Amino acid sequence: MGRRRRRRRVDPADATRALPEAIAALSQTLPAGPSPETFRRAKFDRPEAAPALWRLLFRVLSPQLADGASASFSPEAQVRSVKLALRTQGYPRRALAQLPDDGSQGGRELLLALAWLLARGPLPERLLTQNRVQLGDEMPVCECEALASPGPPTPSVEADGCVDIRHLQWLMGKLRFRWRNLMASQQEQCALLGKIHSYTRGCHSDRSLGHLSVTETELLRDPEGGRQLLRRLERENARLQAALEWRRRELVFWWWMDTVLGACPPEASQPTFLPRIPTPGTGALEPLVQELQALQGELREAVEARRAAWEAGGSSGVVPAGFRSHHVAFWTCWWTCVSPNPTWAPPSSLHELDRASTGFVAVNSGPRALH
């Protein structure tokens, strides 16, 4: 038991001190975090804890909203939005969906939902990254997403529906015009940026950057704006500090959450009817199926042609023994490096459905026999 010196048994007294500190760090790093007292009340499912937790979950699940914008959503709208978002992400407990929409109840369930979100991924870090204060001039690494934001689905456009194809041509022309405008604006922006950088060369004493960025120059030009930037920066620093604190102390929080889960009454297992959530239906998967089938057809043709040519060649000589397996091993290496998610295997559910096919997993892990 005492093999690792660093691990020590934590006594309960330590834990009771450490827990409020951990929760304080957590609520400081999250936007709109409630006090540790609220968390404690939530464990005992006290009603006064619920509204603060609904608000917190709303802010956490829709981080793209600006700080003030969440106030424009009514409490009911916030509750519904939180429920939808959690269901979309696959939250396992039904009790949350059954909570009333006025946001007056459900402290414990909300606490569990928050813990579930925290357990699944680095939530505080992700939120901080999304709302990061930009001090330098940044250019996104990948512009593919720049023009690809569908956002909320557009409401039904024209009531009458039927449209002349010339309208489509007109829209397309409009789009081309906007593209040209974008290009021109982008070029101008780069030219101006170059100028600002060259005029402020040698000003940045701190780093090896050598010149000021637009944000920094703007801060010098407009002191009031500069003060606001400084305040934002300091707030972010506080949240970053709290996130580091949280990382150090979170273990005691998880022990506590186990007790919270234990305090819940067990859920009855009859299925309740839940409202449908918008999901990509199979109809939407059809284009992808067709694409893959088309690709498969082309490959089949190419392979047949080449194999026929190879076998008809005759003078090709002897293929060395390890050639094929070496090649296949090289191949799986390529696929692992290049595939969209190198550790991608289908989720266990898919795997369970078809135990016989070890296809997906095998591609990543080793050579397969082709015949």
Q: Which of residues 158-177 bind another protein (CB under 8 A)?
A: 158, 160-169, 171-176
Which residue, 44 or 331, is less far from another protein as judged by CB?
Answer: 331
**Contact between 333 and another protein per CB under 8 A:** no
Applying CB under 8 A, what is the total number of residues that bind another protein? 177
Tell me the closest approach of the beta carbon of residue 143 to another protein, in angstroms.
4
Nearer to another protein, 77 or 182 (CB): 182
List the interface residues with another protein, window 62-101 (CB under 8 A): 87-90, 92-95
- Residues 6 or more apart whose CB falls under 8 angstroms from that of 331 comprise none
Footprint (CB under 8 A) of another protein, residues 126-155:
126, 128-129, 133, 135-136, 138-151, 153-154
Look up tokens 């906007």; give the residue.
Answer: 178
Nearer to another protein, 32 or 196 (CB): 196
Length of the chain: 371
From the CB of 355, what's the least distance to another protein, in Å? 12
Contact 58, 78 (CB under 8 A): yes
Which CB, 17 or 300, lies closer to another protein? 300
Consecutive H or E run containing 25:
helix 12-29
Instruction: Report the nearest approach of another protein to the CB of residue 33 (Å).
Output: 17
Residue 60 CA neighbour count, 13 Å, CB half? 31
Give, to the nearest 10 degrees, the angle between helix 36-43 and helix 12-29.
110
- Under a CB-based contact definition with an 8 Å cutoff, are residues 36 and 20 in contact? yes
Mark 21-40 with x for binding to another protein (rule: CB under 8 A) and - for no binding: --------------------
Indicate the angle between helix axes 12-29 and 123-130, nearest 10 degrees.
20
Smallest gap from Cβ 145 to another protein, in A, equals: 7
**Any contact of residue 221 with another protein (CB under 8 A)?**
yes
Out of 206, 259, 322, 355, the only residue in the binding site for another protein (CB under 8 A) is 206
- Kindly state whether residue 366 participates in binding another protein, applying the rule CB under 8 A: no
The footprint of another protein on residues 337-356 (CB under 8 A) is 338-341, 344, 346-347, 349-350, 353-354
Euclidean distance between CA atoms 111 and 95, whole angstroms = 12
Name the token pair of 249: 């102390």
Residues 173-202 interacting with another protein (rule: CB under 8 A): 173-176, 178-179, 181-183, 185-196, 199-202
Q: Tell me which residue of 265, 244, 303, 306 sits closest to 95, measured CA to CA.
A: 265
Applying CB under 8 A, among 15, 65, 214, 336 the residue interacting with another protein is: 214
List of residues 6+ apart from 316 with CB closer than 8 A: 310
CB of 141 to another protein, least distance (A): 6
17 binds another protein, rule: CB under 8 A: no
Decide if 78 contacts 103 (C-beta within 8 A): yes
Considering only residues 246-265, where is the footprint of another protein by CB under 8 A? 247-248, 250-251, 254-255, 257-258, 261, 264
- 79 close to 55: Cβ distance less than 8 angstroms: no
**For residue 243, which of 134, 133, 126, 131 has the smallest C-alpha distance?**
126
- For another protein, the binding residue among 16, 267, 333, 366 (CB under 8 A) is 267
Tokens of 252: 């005691």
Contact between 220 and another protein (CB under 8 A)? yes
Structure tokens at 211: 């010149």
